[in-house]
Structure 1
Amino acid sequence: MSATAVAGPPPGPEPADLPDAGYAAVPTRIPDRVPDRILGRRGPLPRWWRDVTAAAAWALVLFVVALWVAAGGLQLLDGAGDGLTSVGRLAGLLASVLILLQVLLMARIPVVEQAWGQDELARVHRIVGFTSFSLMLGHIALVIVGYSVGTDAGVIGTFVDEVLHSPGMLLALAGAIALVMVVVTSVRRARRRLRYESWHLLHLYAYLGAGLALPHQLWTGQDFRSSAVATVFWWGLYAAALVAVLAYRVAVPLWRSRRHALTVSHVVAESPTVTSVVVTGRDLHRMPVRAGQFLQWRFLDGPGWTRAHPYSLSAAPDGRSLRITAAAVGDGSNRLRALRPGTRVLVEGPYGRLHGGVRTRQRSVLIGSGIGITPLRSLLEELPAAPDGVVVVYRVGTLDEAVLADELLALTAERGGRVVAVVGHRHPSRSSWLPASAGDLDDAEALLRIVPDIAERDVFVCGHPAWMDTVLAAAHRAGVPRDAVHHERFAY
């Protein structure tokens, strides 16, 4: 496979020094220059936001434990039955507060989204979700076993009696079943068998599960009503979760979409499988979206419009239009090519930390694979121009798959950077970000050959999750500190 330097001379070793990596030049089309006033050049986001939100979550959990202690939870640990019941009550309280934290994580609160980013938020969401589910099961088991001690009904009889005769228990059981369905479909193997649209619909049952548990807590929860402080705390937490969901998942998106009157301007077929959609509207310079971020899009073109799909901007916002570019991989993305000009658009967002505000250094490396190059192409417009200030590493199976490659070359040439296209199919028996034609070349060594000073740059990565893992590992081995690596995953 041939190897050719592209878009400006690199410092240090030529790209051809990388054995058979498949570098090649691509055609050029110069895009319109985006005014600096639109790019929203701001300093780095405060890193303490994440610490503050994490501390607030831990404070809520610890406060729940304190309420349990204040309600006499420790005094009941002496007897077998009362001890099991008391520990079960604590497990239920912790499960409740974690479920409400789950709802707050799903509420798209701007400060939380900006503090954590999509990747970290998804990881925390998963950990909190499985922990709350385990505590919920522990709560049910411990309380039923505790109630059954000293009776002739047995565990099963006690369970049936509680469900049929305790206030709110039937609703709580229905809520627990809804949460079981959410957790089961969140297991990795199950997710792979579901379409995104089906998974997203099932995931909404988490809200139902949290809501159905409330009557049970109100009517039979001793700790919920143990004191005025406890009552105010639980009512306040439920109210905050409800307000956050209604505000940031419903009211703000509707208000923003109505304010900007978004409609499809035109649709462009970038390749047989990739489509760009340009959306225009009113006062778009006031929309708080940055290059590299993504939004949840709903196109009001017929059946299926209620399901939102996450698409990143593939061009920096210019105050006049927004552009997304997506590959046809599901029902939502397959519909993009059939959109007609004038179709109304609803959006949620913007979301994500893959933008210039997270930079820690003056120079950057953008590493993208396949359609994952689109937010990086957008981000490229926001990064400062400087000699060799940015290097774009574009991993594709064949040159025909190089989406928006002409724009990448034009932008890097304009801004003093360079593009390196790493072309070839993946290695069949090796986990690597490189193609099979690179042989046994080490992943980190390859990065250092392409960008010798990569340890002194910010690294932005976007692509298939498994491929991204290999890039992130290679970047860290090449000396890039963790706070200088920024990435976004869109797998559900």
Structure 2
Amino acid sequence: MTIQAHPRATPQNDRNAARNRLSAAREYQRTFARRARRSDLMVIALWASGATAAALFLASGGIGQFSTLSDAVTSVGIIAGLIGTDFILVMLVLAARIPLIDRTIGHDRAIAVHRSLGKPALYLLLGHGAVLLIGYGMASGINPIAEIGPMLALPDMPLAFIGLGLLIAVVVSSLVAVRRRFSYEGWHLIHLLSYVSVAFALPHQLSVGGVLAEGTAQRVYWIALYVIALGSIITFRFVEPLVSSLRHRMRVAAVTEIAPGVTTIQLAGNDLRSLGASGGQFFIWRFWTPRTWWHSHPISLSAMPTESTARITVRNLGEGSAQLTTLPVGTRVSIEGPYGLFSEAARTSPKLAIIAAGIGVTPVRALLEHSSFAPGEATILLRASTPDETYHWDEIRAIAEAKGAHCYSMVGHRPRGVDSWMTSADYERGVTLQSAFPDLADSDVFLCGPTAWLDLVEAEVRASGIHPHQIHAERFDW
């Protein structure tokens, strides 16, 4: 632990310090309350859009299409298709990395909602096709299966079936058990099919579904939703990153191995402070060499950018990251970002409790550098299994000493047969979260590290009774 010398205390100094702490705490709470309200409203609006799609169908004449049983069944199938399509477009909006959404709910929560919509969207679209076949079969008096041929003969319906097939591939590849069998690059390539599936489904909505009929509210709604979804993807996944990359002209300045399998990449560029990055955030990096240009890498900053420099730290965890350790100096770099709420923007309290392990120290190092707190209001615990995994620890300790933060470390393997995130030595001598972080209940807790280890830490933090909004976790998975 590092102990920082503080100015001599006086009654007046104590009163001023207390007022400053109270003012800071109130400001953090006000900021959090505003963001929480926007976050809740945004998530409610995203889910409610499905109900809006159904309501607009009914208001635009659909309510009159329930006169017979076959018409009612067909109308239910149409509503299922509209809600499913709405969810797919909302998923594209969430995946577009729109700055407003990222600042409001964070990239992780946006992707979590994106994933939660995937299965409902697929089931609704599968139900759309099945229920329509039943409705058409009831109307014509034939077996619903026999309706497949006539349905495929309708304009643009073959494209709709292809789009549905592509969507099934995307959803199945996103299941955790299946996703782990793919490399990130392979999974990402399959996921791009979701854009193609939307493009294939659109024509049959126009020619068969009639949702863009003149003079209906549906026309306005669906045109707006398609423009927002596809426009957001084009703007924030392609145009904005291209403009930003050309403006800042980043390139590799140096590549240095700091530990076995761990490399820092020093980057040079123009006007990098205007990127607006906060400590703890990440960018999507693309390095333009013949071996790496096709692969993008989500990597956190390991130091705050200056006007002309930035730095990331990479651990060799596979073929993709291994290729980054041999990047030639001068390699051009394109970027997307910054992203994430693992930063000052997520703070709800003046006090900080930070726990990081392995390569998880990289965003923590930048977070600590950028964070504001009074001496004694931040505590950092660094965790490693072996001394070889203590990368950037000296830098973190230096920042902690300069800012008056307490810094602890744990080096060693976990106890056998016990689900603990601590070392066996610390576990056996009775170290607890409360003993390491006496102000835990009044702190924002930032956690970063390997997923299995982090899950154990987060479970213990939650068990302590701390409010969920005080916990900010950054996992290194996809």
TM-score by structure 1 length? 0.87
| C-alpha displacement of 1:401 | 1.0
In the alignment, is residue 7 of structure 1 matched against residue 2 of structure 2?
yes
* Contact 1:264–1:277 (Cα < 8 Å) also in 2: yes
Amino acid at match of 1:117: G
Correspondence list, 1:138-153, <5 A: 138-151=127-140, 153=142
Give the partner amino acid of 1:467.
Answer: W
Residue 16 (structure 2) aligns with: none
The 5 A counterparts of 1:71-470 are 71-77=60-66, 79-151=68-140, 153-163=142-152, 165-225=153-213, 227-439=215-427, 446-470=432-456
> Relative to 1, partners in 2 of residues 1:68 and 1:228: Cα closer, same or farther, differing over 3 Å?
closer
- Report the Cα distance in structure 2 between the residues aligned to 1:58 and 1:439, rounded to whole angstroms: 44
- The CA deviation at 1:154 is 1.8
Unaligned stretches of 5+ residues in structure 1: 1-5, 11-40
Corresponding residue for residue 51 of structure 2: 62
Distance 2:87 2:428 in 1: 46
Q: Deviations over 1:81-103 (max 9, x none)?
A: 22221111100000011100011
Whole-angstrom CA distance in 2 between matches of 1:138 and 1:129: 14
Q: Which of structures 1 and 2 has the larger relative contact order (alpha carbons within 8 angstroms, sep 6+)?
A: 1
Tell me which moved more, 266-275 or 481-490: 481-490
1:438 to partner: Cα distance: 4.5
**Where in structure 2 are there 5+ consecutive unaligned residues?**
6-27
Worse-matched range after superposition: 301-310 or 98-107: 301-310
**Equivalent AA in structure 2 for residue 333 of structure 1:** S
Residues 429, 136 of structure 1: CA spacing in aligned structure 2 closer, same or farther, 3 A cutoff? farther
Instruction: Give the secondary-structure state (helix, strand or coil) at the position aligned to 1:345.
Output: strand
Once the two structures are superposed, residues 145-191 of structure 1 have per-residue CA deviations (whole angstroms, 9 ceiling, x without a partner) of 1111254642222123212x111111111111111110111011111
Structure 1, 133-142 or 473-482: larger mean CA deviation = 473-482
Distance 1:206 1:122 in 2: 15
Indicate the RMSD between aligned Cα atoms, in angstroms: 2.2
Q: CA deviation at 1:58?
A: 3.8
SS at match of 2:55: helix
1:397-448 per-residue CA deviation (whole Å, 9 max, x = no partner) reads 1122111111111111111112222222234544332234445788xx7110
Identity of aligned residues (%): 36
CA distance in 1, matches of 2:238, 2:42: 23
How far did residue 387 of structure 1 move?
A: 2.5
Instruction: Please report how far the alpha carbon of residue 334 of structure 1 lies from its aligned counterpart in structure 2 after TM superposition.
Output: 0.8
Does the aligned pair in 1 maintain the 2:291–2:323 contact within 8 Å? no
- Cα drift, residue 255 of structure 1: 0.5
Structure-1 residue corresponding to 2:459: 473
Question: Offset of 1:287 from its aligned partner?
Answer: 1.4
In the TM superposition, residue 208 of structure 1 has moved relative to its aligned partner by 0.8
Corresponding residue for 1:18?
none
Please state how far the C-alpha of 1:114 moved relative to its aligned partner: 1.4
Displacement of 1:125 in angstroms is: 1.0
Q: Give 1 or 2: higher helix fraction.
A: 2
Per-residue displacement from partner, 1:60-113 (whole Å, max 9, x unpaired)? 323212112113434434533222211111000000111000110111100111
8 Å CA contact 1:458–1:485 kept in 2: the answer is: yes
**Which residue identity is paired with 2:459?**
A
Relative distance call for 1:56 and 1:150 in structure 2 (3 A) is closer
Could you tell me which residue of structure 2 aligns to residue 31 of structure 1?
A: none
**Counterpart amino acid of 2:464?**
A
TM-score (norm 2): 0.90
Q: How many residues align?
A: 453
